[in-house]
Chains A and B, each alone.
Chain A
Amino acid sequence: MIKVRKSIHPCATDTWESIAARELAATPLDEGVASLQSWNLHVFSRAPAAADSPRAGNPILPSDLVFLEPPLSAQ
């Protein structure tokens, strides 16, 4: 089997913080959030939802794939 990078589908209300708290529970929150952001530039580099949106400030979309580990080449 080829090695596949671990990822999740976010929940509807997920933020960087909620994913870090749930999936990287053993890591301090700040560190977990920073790691998630650096592993998910496809989400992090996106403009967050506009201020008048119910998702204001959150760039994570419900259809995203969010990686829980760095690229395999970096491991």
Chain B
Amino acid sequence: MDIVIRNGNIVDGSGRPAYIGDIGISAGRINQVGHVSGHGATEIDATGKTVSPGFIDPHTHFDAQLLWDGAAKPAIEHGVTTIVPGNCSLSLAPLKAADRMKLVGMFNQIEEMPLVAFEQGVTWNWETFDEFVGRIQQDLTINVAPLVGHSVLRLWVMGQAATERTATATETAEMQSLLRQCLDAGAIGLSTSFVDMDEKLQPVPSRYADHAELDALCAVLAEYNRILQVVHEFYDIDLTIGRIDQLAELSLKHKITTTLSPLFINRGDFEGVDRVIARIVEQNAAGARVWPQVQTRPIDISFSFAVPSLLFIRLRGWYRVMRFGTPATIMAAFQDETQRQQLVQEATSMMPLWSALILRQVETEANQQYVGKTLAEIAELRGTDALNAMIDLSLEESLDAHFISADMGHNDDDKVGSMLRHPHVMIGASDGGAHILSFSTYGDTGYLLGHFVRDKQLLSMEEAIKKITSDTADIWAIPDRGLLKSGYIADITIFDANTIDRGPEYYVQDVPGDGHRYVRDAIGVETVIIGGAVAYDHLQGYSDEHRGQVIGAPQR
């Protein structure tokens, strides 16, 4: 036996009650569960610890990061052993050399992946999906179940017309055969978007597709029994329900699984959320498979004026200054009397939002005294209003003043907990690896198991683990993973149920090209095994084992 895990509290992913037992691993797979008499080359004492299948994160944008970091740090430290990148119509393949910068622009706009990270972290040596899979398979530590993006298929087949019009019959047929090639090369399904904007603030290519085009692509998904992922107009209940009906129609017609994300649960809209779920249940009763994804963490957004922030997307003047400006022009806009006045005027109606912002980080000694205070408090101390305090601090810090808008929604424990528990809801939508300059997308599983399971007791440990392991594997048709069961691939997370959590959010410089991002460390995750080898241990860090697989890709 390569590894034996002894005396752990086994939560096997099936939802059945936990029990004390051993797990034996050899040749990458679990070969004994219960009592293991043989000795392991590596023995892991899991007394007092919980042993579960590795977690599966179904909504991520780790696409770019996988090119320089095959472990998708810090996902594995949090117990995640499989990620699904390529969501929301965007993947890095198939991609013709001529379209690279267009796609980089979209990733930058939508997922906040810095341009310089692509310049310095990426060697562009692929075009087809198969070549991309081959590229990321080198040194892969985490398992990857990649979606192929609808916008990218359009770009390959239609070029610039992808952002102008519907496809012709010939182009649709070409997209179908291109999708077949991607699925043959290991794509887990297709992703599309009804909401995203590109780097010029124009709709992404997938939004120029009519229903017939999506229908034709779903016919190909059906040939392979693959999934369709959609990001929908999540800000509106009626539109969400309309999209559920559209997905249900596609699901029934083609007998495919579909998923839409994110579904947020905001105070004041519980009735709307209940209608959404009621519609999901009705469509499921009719035979359709439509899975809404609900994230575990509350919404918060951090920002500095050094990069464009989601928070300003509805304030056109501000957003344009941030999106198309350089640090120097942004500073100039704040310094110019007239421009500053216009900006202040545009944002005044949102004063409650600005007042509640908390200053989280500054560079200068003089302003340290304000860190941790709200802008309302700082404004009072400085004899101004919150909006002007935000601008003044940003100028004083050469834009390196960081603010957080905390508790922006999705934060009613009872309601969110009941949704996370709901049999028709998939836990997901972490957006791992995206929005790296707005919030940490890592640690959602720790938050689930620490906050909702241990502290609030809104789900049992067995229920929660099932939701993020075997349920996800079933829905996404990921074989041989998600259960601690003889014959299954040994993707295993060992953690302390008494302490597991997500650590505090902090700002770190670890993106190629000296880029920054917000991350959270894991708490309580001790050992993570991927493909039958220890990938991470909380005392020793990452190992040299690279057993991650592109799930569904042919063996090379």
- CB pair A55–B243 under 8 Å, yes or no, is no
Nearest CB on B from A17, distance (A) = 18
- CB pair B210–A4 under 8 Å, yes or no, is no
- CB pair B210–A63 under 8 Å, yes or no, is yes
Tell me the residues in window 180-204 of chain B with beta carbons closer than 8 Å to chain A beta carbons: 194, 202-203
- CB pair A9–B211 under 8 Å, yes or no, is yes
The complex places the Cα of A61 from the Cα of B208 at a distance, in Å, of 6
The contact string, 1 if C-beta is below 8 Å from chain B, for chain A 53-75, is 11100000111110100011000
Q: Interface residue count for A (Cβ, 8 Å)? A: 23
Does A51 count as interface, using CB distance less than 8 angstroms?
no
Instruction: Evaluate whether A61 and B164 lie within 8 angstroms (CB atoms) in the complex, with A4-B242, A11-B210 already known.
Output: no
Q: Which residues of A lie under 8 Å from residue B81 when comparing CB positions?
A: none
Tell me the residues in window 235-258 of chain B with beta carbons closer than 8 Å to chain A beta carbons: 236, 238-239, 241-243, 245-246
Q: Which residues of A lie under 8 Å from residue B165 when comparing CB positions?
A: 12, 54-55, 62
Instruction: Evaluate whether A12 and B238 lie within 8 angstroms (CB atoms) in the complex, with A61-B203, A63-B210 already known.
Output: no
Which chain A residue has the least Cβ–Cβ distance from B206? A63
Does A27 count as interface, using CB distance less than 8 angstroms?
no
Q: Which residues of B lie under 8 Å from residue A11 when comparing CB positions?
A: 210
Does B141 count as interface, using CB distance less than 8 angstroms?
no
The contact string, 1 if C-beta is below 8 Å from chain B, for chain A 27-57, is 0000000000000001000000110011100
- CB pair A63–B194 under 8 Å, yes or no, is yes
Instruction: Evaluate whether A63 and B209 lie within 8 angstroms (CB atoms) in the complex, with A42-B239, A72-B238 already known.
Output: yes
> Of the candidates B209, B241, B246, B279, which one forms a contact with A62 in the assembled complex, judged by CB atoms under 8 Å apart?
B209
Which chain A residue has the least Cβ–Cβ distance from B276? A2
Q: Which residues of A lie under 8 Å from residue B239 when comparing CB positions?
A: 42, 65
- CB pair B242–A5 under 8 Å, yes or no, is yes
The complex places the Cα of A65 from the Cα of B233 at a distance, in Å, of 10
Q: Which residues of B lie under 8 Å from residue A61 when comparing CB positions?
A: 203, 207-208
Does B474 count as interface, using CB distance less than 8 angstroms?
no
The complex places the Cα of A4 from the Cα of B275 at a distance, in Å, of 9
The complex places the Cα of A4 from the Cα of B245 at a distance, in Å, of 9
Instruction: Evaluate whether A62 and B166 lie within 8 angstroms (CB atoms) in the complex, with A5-B241, A5-B242, A42-B239 already known.
Output: yes
- CB pair B238–A2 under 8 Å, yes or no, is no
Does B282 count as interface, using CB distance less than 8 angstroms?
yes
- CB pair A5–B210 under 8 Å, yes or no, is no
Nearest CB on B from A74, distance (A) = 11
Nearest CB on B from A49, distance (A) = 8
Q: Which residues of A lie under 8 Å from residue B209 when comparing CB positions?
A: 62-63
Nearest CB on A from B440, distance (A) = 30
Does A1 count as interface, using CB distance less than 8 angstroms?
yes
The complex places the Cα of A50 from the Cα of B208 at a distance, in Å, of 14
Q: Which residues of A lie under 8 Å from residue B207 when comparing CB positions?
A: 61-64
The complex places the Cα of A72 from the Cα of B241 at a distance, in Å, of 12
Q: Which residues of A lie under 8 Å from residue B275 when comparing CB positions?
A: 2
- CB pair A71–B238 under 8 Å, yes or no, is yes
Nearest CB on B from A43, distance (A) = 10
Nearest CB on A from B283, distance (A) = 10
**B interface, CB within 8 angstroms of A:** 164-166, 194, 202-203, 206-211, 213-214, 233, 236, 238-239, 241-243, 245-246, 275, 278-279, 282
**A interface, CB within 8 angstroms of B:** 1-2, 4-5, 7, 9-12, 42, 49-50, 53-55, 61-65, 67, 71-72
- Can you offer 5 A-B residue contacts whose CB atoms are under 8 A? A55-B165, A62-B209, A63-B194, A63-B210, A65-B242
